[in-house]
Structure 1
Amino acid sequence: MNLNDASLPLPPAPSARDHSEPFKEPAADGHILGGFAWRHIRTDPTRPVVIINAATSVRCRHYARFADYLFANGFDVLTYDYRGIGESRNGSLRHFKASWSDWGVLDFEAMLTRAQREFPGQPIDVVGHSFGGCAAGLAASGAVIRRIVTVGAQFAYWRDYAPSGRWRMFAKWHVVMPLLTALCGYFPGKRLGWLEDTPAGVVRDWSMPTPRYETRPSGRALGNLPFSRVKAQILAISITDDPFGTVAAIERLLGYFDGSERTHLRIAPEDIGENQVGHFAFFRSEYQDRLWPIALAWLQNGQLAADTLGISPNLRFNTPPDPEP
């Protein structure tokens, strides 16, 4: 399988072996979200709880093995699906209203609220994959987050795509996807093998060819962007063969978190003895011994181990996001 594309086999559902239990949580507007919790029997106010934010239209089950790994290393963990996806889908998506800002402002906020209620006093950390890193900056309660690890996190500005595949990706995600969405009333991703079925509003946000989050259709509704509320220590992990997560793309999103201490770690597949890793493979269990310890160390200590593989590019955080072309 080519892990650079967005065709993703669905891992098995979390089971008793994963120490998880399902839950339902209402968002502020009443929409019921579904997810899974890994909870230790004994409470400990010093034990962190990690919320995992999925990539756009990737089910939370994809992160079950990684969640089990964090649980085995002393964390409580919450995974969940955004509205319209997986455990949070209820019926047809035709004309179902949901957007990127809904996923962050309402759905991720609901998880922060649940974490504070179900794990009172415990530190709250976040792992965000792809758009999940952007969602981490959209919740009103973002100030409660202690540490964040993002993986390939960006918001799909086409000029940031890797040059070798930029026009192919533009055609797929910014032409074909919105056309099919307009025809069907939602994006029928499952039938195509392109991730999950996706609400039309999310597709509009994804496919809009603008470099700034606040000029996406649902971004306009946010007014003053809440990213600055986040004061967490952020580690942004990117992989050199990820066509979405280029240096420019990672920097663009990190630039919005201007209230946070930010570190960018860029890893080449050959650093870990692989030919390719791409956008999705980080969370596969085959990388438990080679990549997962990097995220674990950051969540535990807020710093990279001295022998961590990869390099840290020069980041230009004093440069504001690009103006509209």
Structure 2
Amino acid sequence: MNPVEHPVVAEDGHRFCLRIVEPAASRAHLLFLPALGVPAAKYDAFAAALAGHGIRVAVAEWRGIGSSAWRAGRGIDWGYGTLLGRDLRAARAALGPGAWHYGGHSLGGQFAAMLAALDPEACAGLVLVATGVPHERLYRGAAGLAIAAFARLLPALTRLCGHYPGHRLGFAGREAGGVMRDWARTVRHGVYEDYGTGGSLEDRMRRLAVPVLGLSLAEDWLAPAVTLAALMDKLGPGPHRAMTLDGGRLGVRADHFRWMRRPDGLAQTVADWLLSP
């Protein structure tokens, strides 16, 4: 099943596309948010696999990536507040009314939870894939030291370059400096700020009472199970299910990105949960 690009315009004029895959008959709806620096098109195979189970999937594009009309640079900057209050709000409005689950991979999972907390009535539940709170204290050994050092380097680096040159550093892509500085604060403090949303996101997340499926991957050092647990612990009451998937379940090495190449195993797990009575 091939995706259809649906143009979206945010209130500040930013143009991007939703990639929507329509099954013959929809049994559930999922708005899915990519990982940092990953174009929406990279999730086409995952969306098609879910559509094979009767799930309508819309994958949003991050500002500055893929179909986005803008690119980060000196004087062209944005942060979490812009992504939440403009782009994701516009994407959700473009999908129209009805019950949609929100989901995401890595940073996208964090944003799915924040978006749901801002408008809980519009969210039927959360699907969190290889994601979690990237708090430096949750990582062990060299990984913890590396992520802590990186988070402290980012403010100076992004201001020097006018953006984050991830395409040169091998982590993410060309990103807005504001996005990376917001990410770095989460690494240092383990909390989500209000980002100009008009209230504490942490408080709103604690009041979010929706079903949640959390999937960690057994060989994923970027988002180990402990970080997923920290994210789910921020959420309010509701049926929460957390699972760690290994290579046998996925049919491919269970690391942060490899599942995207062969998504059928993970899609089956998500579909089983979405369609369960």
Same fold per TM (> 0.5)? Answer: yes
TM-score, structure 1 as length reference = 0.74
Aligned twin of 1:261: 239
CA separation of 1:294/1:161 partners in 2, compared to 1, >3 Å: closer, same or farther?
same
Amino acid across the alignment from 1:265: M
Aligned twin of 2:181: 204
Distance (whole Å) between structure 2 residues aligned to residue 189 and residue 76 of structure 1: 32
Aligned twin of 1:291: 266
Aligned twin of 1:150: 128
RMSD: 2.6
**Does 2:265 match 1:300?**
no
In the comparison of the two structures, how many residue pairs are matched? Answer: 271
What is the aligned counterpart of 2:43 among 58, 63, 83? 63
Distance (whole Å) between structure 2 residues aligned to residue 270 and residue 72 of structure 1: 21
CA separation of 1:204/1:58 partners in 2, compared to 1, >3 Å: closer, same or farther?
same
CA separation of 1:134/1:92 partners in 2, compared to 1, >3 Å: closer, same or farther?
closer
Aligned twin of 2:21: 38
- The CA deviation string for residues 64-103 of structure 1, in whole angstroms up to 9 with x for no partner, is 1101111222122211212222212424532323212322
TM-fit CA distance, 1:272: 5.3
Distance (whole Å) between structure 1 residues aligned to residue 130 and residue 270 of structure 2: 13
Distance (whole Å) between structure 2 residues aligned to residue 21 and residue 34 of structure 1: 9
Distance (whole Å) between structure 1 residues aligned to residue 270 and residue 131 of structure 2: 14
Amino acid across the alignment from 1:282: W
TM-fit CA distance, 1:277: 2.4
SS at match of 1:263: strand
- Determine if contact 1:130/1:155 at 8 Å carries over to the other structure: no
**Larger radius of gyration between Structure 1 and Structure 2:** 1
TM-score, structure 2 as length reference = 0.86
Distance (whole Å) between structure 1 residues aligned to residue 75 and residue 69 of structure 2: 13
CA separation of 1:87/1:242 partners in 2, compared to 1, >3 Å: closer, same or farther?
same
Distance (whole Å) between structure 2 residues aligned to residue 162 and residue 51 of structure 1: 32
Sequence identity (%) = 24
- The CA deviation string for residues 241-297 of structure 1, in whole angstroms up to 9 with x for no partner, is 2123223311221122214321111234466576x4222223222x42x33211111
- Determine if contact 1:155/1:206 at 8 Å carries over to the other structure: no
TM-fit CA distance, 1:301: 1.4
User: Which 4+ residue blocks in structure 1 deviate beyond 3 angstroms?
Assistant: 175-179, 218-222, 228-231, 268-274
What is the aligned counterpart of 1:26 among 3, 6, 9? 9
SS at match of 2:113: coil
SS at match of 1:107: helix
Distance (whole Å) between structure 2 residues aligned to residue 169 and residue 252 of structure 1: 17
What is the aligned counterpart of 2:78 among 98, 101, 126? 98
What is the aligned counterpart of 1:125 among 101, 116, 120? 101
What is the aligned counterpart of 2:158 among 178, 181, 184? 181
- Choose 198-207 or 28-37, whichever is displaced more: 28-37
TM-fit CA distance, 1:29: 4.0
- The CA deviation string for residues 162-210 of structure 1, in whole angstroms up to 9 with x for no partner, is 4352223333x31444443121110111233322110011110111211
Aligned twin of 1:213: 192
Q: If each structure's helix is expressed as a fraction of its own residues, which one has the higher value?
A: 2
Structure 2 gap segments, 5+ residues each? none
SS at match of 2:241: strand
